[in-house]
Structure 1
């Protein structure tokens, strides 16, 4: 066989190129949702024989088939889910408390998100890394039954080790502990925190970590960007903060995290349990994984829905919810994002809101931790500025927060950035929150960022030299892959 290949190597390469190229081109044509994306990939595959098919195999397959376990968990824990249904909220109740237009958001969420909008919840804003990590450690140390943690980056530094040590102590006192760390995020530290936890006997896996010749095929471009911690099925933490030292101390990067209690914790737990099942085939339905129901009265507290997004059956759920929120906004849309690189559909919806007279404010870092992304963002900002949106460059330190409030009553918080990766490629978790008090807290945080920010104008963008503007546009061309 080897002799035949050596003799006919050119013919072998040609045959491989035809077979792999045909398979890749058919897959791209049948699975890509946008004509431009499909044409682009088919062009790369045809114009770069063999190499194009290999590139497509590494970064072009952006949908994953996963066996869902949420329904199976609900069957196994049927009594708990029946009790949680008491906290369900109707569209009429939303309309009474938040206005007629926002009952449409309730209807939209019911159609595109798999989790219900529930009452009886409480959401606490954690404005610093010190407060966030202290609250996490406290929840883990107090856990009696179970702890599950899922994150993108879990560094093996002072902060990461302190969280890991809390998990190890919980494991040793008999608490059921499960840890999921993204395969890419786990490599931000060498050696990885995964080995540290494994050595202590803590059940831990890397998400999408099946490696073939150094690549996570066939889904090498997909990762979990979710940040979830649930202790005893009673308290949960979500937001944008990775587990790393960079968010603490003098001059630290800023971020915003949230501590959540109430019925919605059951849904947050279900999401992390599904990702654990995806890697291990272990269904978390034993007694220690039961949700502890709150004492809150149905109909009170914050109305919260878990928004699950990812390149599986929940593709673009976050994007659909954001587009819906832009369409119902009447007064204001306030956005904080470290990476603002949405697609034309998102920009069109935002610009349409601005044309209707809605005050649109977008806050991004003046100094980004990713210089390439910063340049790509500048190249796109003229698209919103010319339609009446206002853009502010927040002073250092770098702010990694992902925050949005609409009309001072509807909040969107969690792990999603406003870029192609978060809106199409990453597995994300966000919360839709109807709560005046939380919106006011987030509004004050945005006010603080804007107080020290510089407003970006069209004139300032046009005044930049042609070479700089051209460089920005070149980086912008790669924005779907940043």
Structure 2
């Protein structure tokens, strides 16, 4: 019996060694950033068995076989739909602003999706304004409503939105609601789920969390977009989930979440509807592309082009990251960024430092307290080198600042669902708008200024005097920053 135990022990050690060697080779041979590979190797070696399991769960961009095959087949027909917008009157190339010209070229070449003019934007900055505006538009809906959100959390005004959808369904409005499974568990356990299904609303769980398939699809790949489209005439997108902040994560100790949404009319609405259709087809296999926009531009009015920039499996890699890089590199005077989760890639970090070093005023506004302690400590690991390069860092004390925005030279802006971290820029289904509208940008810039009045600027001298405990946690989580 002792020999049997000895043999089993040696066989187990040999099997584990082969497993570690095999996973190590897979990590090394996978083409990606060196920092990401090194971080995974550290996890695998420091956490025996658990590290290997984590790699299989989170280490590779795995959408699942059926979804991946479907997304690959979809790119052609959706690209054809996008490319026909080049001939649309809303695609104005003459006189297009310098900030958006290169972004339009990039997205046209990689995704076949051009920037479109003739839009009207309204910036909405309070939960009551956002949700009541959405309710009013839903109550006016005549034919169909498309919605995709990462989180739907019942309570407060979110329930009023649900009631508005039920009223619309009773009027015969077709409603397609796509919610991320991991982000919206309370909704799917609530009575609202069955009430909507009984009313004829098509409610689908995106990327459903299933314990039987945990090794077949990456679990932290999430549907992170926030889009609502009513009758293909009005659209909403931005940073806010379908939640009432007064009823959401009240016990997390970070205060209420602070968000914005943009209400849009014009041809960009049809593009956002097409992005929803993409997500719907990836999940269900059902195609429901919207009509192409029909618009007559006022030649005497500024064009105000908007470039919709989506990302996610099946779409061109790193597109949003490239757009962000182009926008920052074009800055001549100022770059102001608000983001709740700041764990930048090496490229983005160097871009911010170089921009500040060439004399551009670079300001970063992030929450003082974060609902993710790992992200909070990892973010602070970048403070010193950013401040030494000339970047001004502000910590917001008015709640969890969840707004994702970038303003360039007070003339051009990016706004959407994208955080400044690897998960948003590399992994999730996201969307951002590149907006060449100076009046709208000024309004967003003023809102950022209001955030800064509720913030404290981090002082480099005082920061250098922080304790050893803080420095230790920063360094530990900094090592894992490519995985956060």
1:3 matched residue in structure 2: none
CA deviations 1:225-244 (Å, max 9, x no partner) are 10000111111100000111
TM-score by length of 1: 0.87
TM-score by length of 2: 0.87
Q: Which residue of 2 aligns with 1:333?
A: 335
The alpha carbon displacement at 1:113 in A equals 4.6
What residue in structure 1 maps to residue 181 of structure 2?
Answer: 183
User: Separation in 1 of the partners of 2:325 and 2:51?
Assistant: 34
Gaps of 5+ in 2: none
Deviation at 1:52, TM superposition (A): 4.3
Please tell me the root mean square deviation across aligned C-alpha atoms, in Å: 3.1
Structure 2 counterpart of 1:386: 388
| C-alpha distance in 1 between matches for 2:19 and 2:373 | 36
Q: What is the CA distance between 1:389 and its match in structure 2?
A: 0.9
1:44 offset after TM fit, Å? 5.3
Mapping of residues 315-464 of structure 1, within 5 Å: 315-464=317-466
Distance 1:23 1:172, change over 3 A: farther
Q: CA deviation at 1:212?
A: 3.5
Secondary structure of 1:443's partner? helix
**Deviation per CA, 1:32-72, whole angstroms, max 9, x where unpaired?**
41234335545655787765443222111225432353653
Pairing partner for 1:88 from 85, 88, 91: 91
Q: Does 1:203 align with 2:202?
A: yes
Aligned with 1:258 (options 258, 262, 270): 262
Structure 2 Cα separation of the partners of residues 392 and 21 of structure 1: 43
SS in 2 for 1:87: coil
How many residues align structurally?
468
Matches within 5 A, 1:234-273: 234-246=233-245, 252-273=256-277
Moved more, 12-21 or 433-442: 12-21
Q: 1:408/1:273 Cα in 2 relative to 1: closer, same or farther (>3 Å)? A: same
Relative distance call for 1:225 and 1:82 in structure 2 (3 A) is closer
CA-CA distance at 1:207 after TM superposition: 1.0
For residues 161-176 of structure 1, the aligned pairs below 5 Å read 161-176=159-174
2:312–2:426 Cα contact (<8 Å) kept: yes
Q: How does 1:51-130 map to 2 (within 5 A)?
A: 51-64=50-63, 65=68, 66-67=71-72, 69=74, 71-72=76-77, 81=84, 85-90=88-93, 92-94=94-96, 98-99=97-98, 103-130=101-128
- Preserved CA contact (<8 Å) 2:396 2:452: yes
Whether the aligned pair in 2 keeps the contact of 1:232 and 1:292 (CA below 8 Å) is no
**Correspondence for 1:160:** 158
For 2:409 and 2:238, how far apart are their aligned partners in 1?
A: 21
